[in-house]
Structure 1
Amino acid sequence: MFDVAPTELLLVVVVALVVIGPKDLPKAMRFVGKWMGKARGMARHFRAGLDTMMREAELEELEKQWREQNDAIMREFPRIDDAGASPSSASTAAPKSEPPTEAEIDEAAAANPPETHAIPPKDGPLP
């Protein structure tokens, strides 16, 4: 970041030792270190804010592209229930307005039991 050579740093330390003095130099270094920490924290916070704004802008752009592609797909392949059914099929397949009862759910579950798959043991095939 800063291109400071070791000789330049040594010169700054010698000048600080002469100007501030050996007695107050640790206090001055502590003060400078505290302010450097605060400055770094503020810079980190600023950078995090910028990163967040960039991510949000990218997400908005991706969301816009997704919406455009989705609209194009929906125009090309309209949903069957949105396209409008013929009058004859509408009368035979009228949707139910009330949810199924527990008895209907139990009957449907008994008629279509879930598939079970046995997991073979690690030793070999099932007996």
Structure 2
Amino acid sequence: MFDIGATELLVIVIVAVIVIGPKDLPLALRTAGRWIGKVRRVSGHFRSGIETMIREAEMEEMEKKWREQNARIMAEHSAEEGESAESASTAAESRVASAAAPSRDAEAPSAEPDGQPRLPLGKPESE
């Protein structure tokens, strides 16, 4: 941080002892320690706030990219499903039309695979 060497630290200690005096030096060091602690806490809080803002910005970018990619994928699949849905809807319409048309089975008996006639369901036969 400040890149202070051993000789520079020794000079600072000697100047502090001469200027402050040996009697008040512990109180001065304690006060300096408190201030350094406060500065570290504030700088740590500031740094974490900046990192949080950077992470949020990165997340917004990723979410934007994911939304664009999701929209592109959905458009591709809806186009594919649209083509298959058209053929499926045509087949469904033909099934609905054939189901809506009157069946000959309801009007006349049909033959079973063994050759026996099958009677329509509904009214019982009268004898």
| TM-score after normalising by structure 2 | 0.63
Aligned to 1:26: 26
Deviations along 1:64-119, one digit per CA (max 9) or x if unpaired, are: 010011000011001859x6873874897xxxxxxxxxxxxxxxxxxxxxxxxxxx
Aligned to 2:73: 73
The runs of 5 or more residues in structure 2 that have no matched partner are: 97-127
| Count of aligned residue pairs for this structure pair | 91
Q: Displacement, 1:2?
A: 1.2
SS in 2 for 1:77: helix
The runs of 5 or more residues in structure 1 that have no matched partner are: 93-127
CA RMSD of aligned residues (A): 2.3
SS in 2 for 1:2: coil
What does residue range 1-127 of structure 1 map to in structure 2 within 5 Å?
1-78=1-78, 80=81, 86=89, 89=92
Paired residue type of 1:86: S
Question: Which structure's relative contact order is higher, taking Cα pairs within 8 Å and 6+ residues apart?
Answer: 2
1:38 and 1:11 mapped to 2: Cα distance?
25
Structure showing greater Rg: 2
1:17 and 1:47 mapped to 2: Cα distance?
35
Runs (4+) off by over 2 Å: 83-92
Q: Displacement, 1:3?
A: 1.7
Paired residue type of 1:5: G
| TM-score after normalising by structure 1 | 0.63
Paired residue type of 1:32: A
Bigger helix fraction: 2
